[in-house]
Amino acid sequence: MYKCEDCGAVFEEPYEYREPDVNFFADWCPYCQSDAIFEVKECALCGELTAVYDLTIDGYCPECVTKTARKLNEFLGKCEPEEVRIFKEEFGIEPISY
């Protein structure tokens, strides 16, 4: 899937513009012919279409990563200091900075 920055259209494949005589090839939006397009995929958690270059290696969007980190930090904030130490030493879990 691709999305156009200019018109906002989402489409399966870009229009392939070619001028072989001058060795020019470009991918364009099939709706507005802009070349400002980027590949998108659904976030593995929320399903929102997100630019591939913004997804984590596991397919999560920045918003879901931040939201999950906040939830973890909130949970750890409710724990006793000794419990936080157990999480850190036994499981490698500690508060996350975002």
Residue 66 structure tokens: 């931040």
Would 62 be classed as within a structural domain? Answer: yes
Torsion region of 17: left, alpha or beta (phi above 0 gives left; psi -120 to 50 gives alpha): beta
Q: Which two tokens stand for residue 35?
A: 């070349």
Residue numbers of the domain that contains 64:
56-98
Tell me which DSSP letter residue 53 carries.
G
Chain position carrying tokens 């399903």 = 47
Instruction: Read off the pTM.
Output: 0.76
- For 82, the token pair is 């000794």
Residue 48 lies in a domain: no
Tell me what pLDDT residue 61 has: 97
> How many Cβ atoms from other residues are within 10 Å of residue 37's Cβ?
22
Query: H-type helices in the chain, by residue range?
Result: 62-77, 81-91
Looking at the 3D structure of the chain, how many domains does it have? 2
Q: Please check whether residues 74 and 97 belong to one and the same domain.
A: yes
pLDDT tens-place string over residues 42-63:
999 999 999 999 999 999 999 9
Note whether residue 77 is domain-resident.
Answer: yes
Q: Convert the pLDDT of each residue in 57-85 to its tens digit.
A: 999 999 999 999 999 999 999 999 999 99
The predicted-structure confidence for 10-49, as pLDDT tens digits, reads as follows 999 999 988 888 888 899 999 999 999 999 999 999 999 9
Residue 15 placed within a domain: yes
Which pLDDT does position 22 carry in this prediction?
A: 86
CA–CA distance, 43 with 49 (Å, rounded to integer): 6
- Report if residue 20 sits inside a domain: yes
Q: What is the pLDDT of residue 32?
A: 96
**Within-domain flag for 83:** yes
